[in-house]
A and B are shown apart, each in its own frame.
Chain A
């Protein structure tokens, strides 16, 4: 026999938190869910997590955006769980909270509909900081692979693949197209 659902007065009130994952490479849904659950369990502990009732509801691999659900009294705990994420599957990543809403419909309308600029693969060099090979461009942002030994070591130590630049960084610099 199917168990009866609770009357509305006893149903827990929910909040939905939209987030965006930032990482060097797009992450799979599984990796994101595992990272959020692991970090919330490690940081909050099993008992607090059971009260907060944090669950990842959806994650879109194409936009790297998703949302999680929690009890309405546990928004701070859910935000803390997102904030302590520093990697997913040993890849450097972070979760940026986009907003909180009481319904999924409003959350999607307010925070998950804004289009993202497409990532384009590029290949040119900047004569800056011992040489940078710009590999990707997204809107006004650029990711570059350093050629100088010291910067290579720094990216390795921080477990990041690219040096982050903004397009304004290149306005006064010497650019060599390698294509």
Chain B
């Protein structure tokens, strides 16, 4: 099984590695990455697409941002977390991914309204593998619980899920086999894994 990870940061935004270095590690792992730094990157094997990550706090400003950025970049990732951001992110079909919807929350960040809107506007909800990999103990328990809840809601309301590492350095990238292992442990079926690892990312970047 292959894997396209659409939430990776290079040194151009929050990461510590150059895009070429990340591309080298992606090739070594047998995956493709999407850099969401909001910066132009020259084409390189291993880099599937170039996107941008934005925060949605104000409706007017968010729509204006989306209008410009969706034309400039292959995809737009919206930073989720608080209720306003999560709702705004799924309210526009120019947004592509709602990233870490549960960060800083005691729940998964997705309610039936957000789930329905995500389906209507084809906004994929991120399975934040970075929150599982880089945490332990009760934090990891909470991250797993929130992912499982979003998987359950995805089955009920039919919105897409996309697996992302949220990598900020070369050590955060993961091979397809490892990601599949984690998703299987979480409880995703074979077709659901394929959807989250390949089909949803391919649809988002328009392949």
Interface residues of B in 132-180 (CB under 8 A from A): 132-134, 136-137, 140, 168-175, 177-180
Selecting from A3-11, A56-64, A73-81, A117-125, the interface stretch reads A73-81
Chain B residues whose CB sits within 8 angstroms of the CB of A86 once the complex forms? 133-134, 171-172
Q: Does A160 have its Cβ within 8 Å of any Cβ on chain B?
A: yes
Inter-chain CA distance A33–B115, complex, in Å, is: 42
Q: Are A160 and B20 in contact (CB under 8 A)?
A: no
B177 contact from A97, A160, A162, Cβ within 8 A: A97
A162 partner residues in chain B, CB cutoff 8 A:
16
State in angstroms the CA–CA spacing of A174 and B11 once bound together: 18
- How many residue pairs link A and B with beta carbons under 8 A? The number is 100
Question: In the complex, which of the residues A22, A84, A158, A165 contacts B132, with contact meaning CB atoms closer than 8 Å?
Answer: A84
CB distance from A110 to the nearest CB of B (A): 15
Q: Which residues of chain B have a CB within 8 Å of any CB of chain A?
A: 11, 14-18, 20-24, 28-29, 132-134, 136-137, 140, 168-175, 177-182, 184-185
The answer to the question of A135 belonging to the interface, with a C-beta cut-off of 8 Å to chain B, is no
B168: chain A residues at CB < 8 Å are 158
Residue of B nearest to A38 (CB): B136
Give complex CA distance A129, B10 in Å.
Answer: 13
A96 touching B177, Cβ below 8 Å: no
Interface flag for A42 (CB, 8 Å): yes
With contact pairs A86-B134, A97-B175, A158-B169 given, residues A76 and B18 touching in the complex (Cβ less than 8 Å): no
A166 and B23 alpha carbons, distance in the complex (Å)? 9
> How far, in angstroms, from A64 to B163 measured CA to CA in the complex?
28
Question: Contact: A82 with B178, CB < 8 Å?
Answer: yes
Q: Which residues of the partner chain B approach A80 to less than 8 Å between Cβ atoms?
A: 178, 181-182, 184-185
Q: Which residues of A contact B175 (CB under 8 A)?
A: 79, 83, 96-97
Check A168 for interface membership: any CB of B closer than 8 A: yes
Q: How far is the CA of A80 from the CA of B187 in the complex (A)?
A: 13
